[in-house]
Structure 1
Amino acid sequence: MKKIAILFPGQGAQFKGMGKDVFPLFPELTELASDILGYSVERLCVSDPEGKLRYTDYTQPALYVVNALNYYNLKNERPELGDAHFLMGHSLGEYNALLAADVFDFETGLRLVQKRGELMARAREGGMAAILGARIEQVRQIISDHHLDEIDIANLNTPTQAIIAGPKESMVAAEKAFDSSGFTYYPLNVSAPFHSRYMEDAQAVFVRFAAQFAFRSPKSAVIANYTARPYENNAIEATLIKQIANCVRWVESVRYVMDQGDVEFIEVGSTILTKMVKEVGSERNLASVGLS
């Protein structure tokens, strides 16, 4: 029997007009979200008249809400998806995975995400870049060879796509190093080095904020970005918090789920993660026949 894994995208999947089909289907949740946030989340997502959707403190709660409504709508259409074997979210999307696993309710998740977005938006003095075409071993070797000690690996998205993060001066040096090595260095439009050691102050504040909420045991296996393994019942809050200042281990997470048998991956509201999963799967298939 084929198992099901539901995927929830994170920051980068947002776009003007998102959610326009699902906001009218869930008026009470839409109103609740707007009351919590202090502005119309539907207006922000659908028309974005003030151009705020691209800012982290607006992007994160907006995407959380749209992901949630898209998931609820999908579950109404396909009730069997409510019993998915695996739930996975990339960075911000992990909050939607935990919501789908009934670890917390919609309101709690939104308040957590709102605070997370605020804290991450306050962080400055750094940047992030995608390194395309390089394997993780090559990325690590270049960082070592060029003594880029202030650079962290923030995301491992596919076998040939990593995200690095660090202070601005170090990112300039990293660009030169990766360019000279023949790999594509693509700067990301972010205000800070997310998922790196430089987010530890924000993480410390988030610890205190998250302490006021209760977390239930997940009803399905939620794969944690921090460990690339299912959340453990006695460490849910701690594991989620550590995500802020640590690498998103997406490749390992996908490989773990693929190793559990015949799995169908279904992405909510986007195709970004689906493309990553296909690349991971393609390499895995080649390896199984000795071609990689």
Structure 2
Amino acid sequence: MIVMLLVARAFVWWRRVRQLSDEHHKLRLHLSSVAFLPRIVRWQARAIFVGGICQMKAFVFPGQGSQSVGMGKGLFDEFRDYVDRADQILEYSIEELCLSDPNKLLGRTQYTQPALFVVGALSFLKKAQNDTLPAYLAGHSLGEYCALFAAGAFDFDDGLRIVKMRARLMSEASGGGMAAVISCDVSRIRELLHTSGLTGIDIANLNSPKQTVISGALPDLEAARPHLERLGAGFIPLPVSAPFHSRYMAPVREQFEAFLRNFQFRPLKIPVIANVNALPYQDHQIIYNLKEQLCGAVNWTDTINYLVSRGVSEFDEVGPGTVLGRLIREIRQPATA
């Protein structure tokens, strides 16, 4: 009887949500029942109401560059079963790597990416225990794998196996680099690269209106530097071994696609916004989007703008660091600010 009463109340509430949703540009509101009998029935809405207005939340997961020694503290003891499985898959102690990094490996791509996936996934599991589930998920580069895990595309073990292979392939790539360009509009960067004949440089990350990352051969990047600095832009070489998110990762893309085809991907329970096009994943696009992400730009600015256009007003950064929060604030600033 108690369960039936709770379900009846939830249904009435759901109908009210639908009415308010229609009144606010028909915002998508997803409900999911999170507990099964014999637990008390608990409904988690992927939207919240403030002052009678429907407000939507997104969880965002950071990527490479957000790692730091000490990340994940408190999670490893709480989710010991996951940690033990991670150790078996990786063949080293993920807890030791994240908390103390005695061999100074955390900054290496082969180790960074699995570590960020484990901490991001465990952070989501911790958050999901007490927090309202989000309306949308998104991740920056490697963070997109955490978002897909949270959406149910794969379980923890398969996600880690996929990330382990991605990290290995990317760590073996070489022959170029990346640089962050600060305080220069991406359209001006593209124009400069074209007029200067530096067509071997690709736009890798569109992080915010104030920050763009470029990839290419090291001589090309160095040749672009004085041109960009004359425009008043900051130029910061990044400590990476290869020109990630560029055409030069094509050989890695083909190997990675073949590996991805060994896995069965499940339908997403929560929409995930893809880096490659800043649009929601379709279930049949998972392999395509993940392989294309290696060679394509991370369209983070468009991702946040899309989420805002869908009614998202709250962004929770899940995982280590606060980099995404700063980028989101830059993206959401008025153009005149």
Regarding TM over 0.5, the answer is yes
Task: Give the AA of the match of 1:34.
Answer: D
Alignment correspondent of 1:68: 121
What root-mean-square deviation, in Å, do the aligned CA atoms of Structure 1 and Structure 2 show? 1.0
Alignment correspondent of 2:231: 181
Aligned-pair distance for 1:171? 1.0
Alignment correspondent of 2:85: 32
Equivalent position SS for 1:220: coil
Task: Give the AA of the match of 1:256.
Answer: Y
Alignment correspondent of 2:46: none
CA deviation profile, 1:194-232 (whole Å, cap 9, x unmatched)? 000000100110011000001112111100000100001
Task: Give the AA of the match of 1:58.
Answer: Y
Q: 2:328 aligns with which of 277, 280, 286?
A: 277
Equivalent position SS for 1:53: coil
Matched, 1:166 2:216: yes
Task: Give the AA of the match of 2:84.
Answer: E
Alignment correspondent of 1:101: 151
8 Å contact kept, 2:276–2:299: yes
Matched, 1:42 2:95: yes
Aligned-pair distance for 1:262? 4.4
Aligned-pair distance for 1:77? 2.7
Task: Give the AA of the match of 1:17.
Answer: G
Aligned equivalents of 1:108, 1:185: Cα separation in 2: 38
Alignment correspondent of 2:106: 53
Misfit runs of 4+, over 6 Å: none
Aligned equivalents of 1:175, 1:158: Cα separation in 2: 20
Alignment correspondent of 1:5: 58
Report which stretch shifted further, 103-112 or 269-278: 269-278
8 Å contact kept, 2:79–2:122: yes
8 Å contact kept, 2:61–2:143: yes
Sequence identity (%)? 43
Aligned equivalents of 1:276, 1:175: Cα separation in 2: 23
Equivalent position SS for 1:2: strand
Matched, 1:110 2:110: no
User: Which residues of structure 2 form unaligned runs of 5+?
Assistant: 1-53
TM-score when normalising by structure 2 = 0.82
Q: What are the equivalent positions in structure 2 for 1:226-241 lying under 5 Å apart?
A: 226-241=276-291
Aligned equivalents of 2:286, 2:253: Cα separation in 1: 15
CA deviation profile, 1:223-267 (whole Å, cap 9, x unmatched)? 000010000122121112110111000000100000011421111
Aligned equivalents of 1:116, 1:219: Cα separation in 2: 24
Alignment correspondent of 1:255: 305
Task: Give the AA of the match of 2:307.
Answer: V
Q: 1:22 aligns with which of 69, 72, 75?
A: 75
Alignment correspondent of 1:77: 130
Task: Give the AA of the match of 1:173.
Answer: A
Aligned equivalents of 2:195, 2:92: Cα separation in 1: 48
8 Å contact kept, 2:63–2:143: yes
Question: RCO greater where, 1 or 2, for CA within 8 Å and sep 6 or more?
Answer: 1
Alignment correspondent of 1:140: 190
Aligned-pair distance for 1:178? 1.0
Aligned equivalents of 1:197, 1:242: Cα separation in 2: 10
Alignment correspondent of 2:20: none
Aligned equivalents of 2:271, 2:299: Cα separation in 1: 16
User: Which residues of structure 1 form unaligned runs of 5+?
Assistant: none
Aligned equivalents of 1:17, 1:213: Cα separation in 2: 32
Alignment correspondent of 2:18: none
Alignment correspondent of 1:206: 256
CA deviation profile, 1:26-70 (whole Å, cap 9, x unmatched)? 000000001000000000010000000000000000010001111
Q: 1:88 aligns with which of 138, 151, 159?
A: 138
Aligned equivalents of 1:124, 1:171: Cα separation in 2: 15
Aligned-pair distance for 1:89? 0.2
Aligned equivalents of 1:180, 1:5: Cα separation in 2: 38
Q: What are the equivalent positions in structure 2 for 1:110-129 lying under 5 Å apart?
A: 110-129=160-179
8 Å contact kept, 2:58–2:312: no
What number of residue pairs does the alignment pair up?
Answer: 283
Equivalent position SS for 1:163: strand
Aligned equivalents of 2:101, 2:266: Cα separation in 1: 35
Alignment correspondent of 2:270: 220
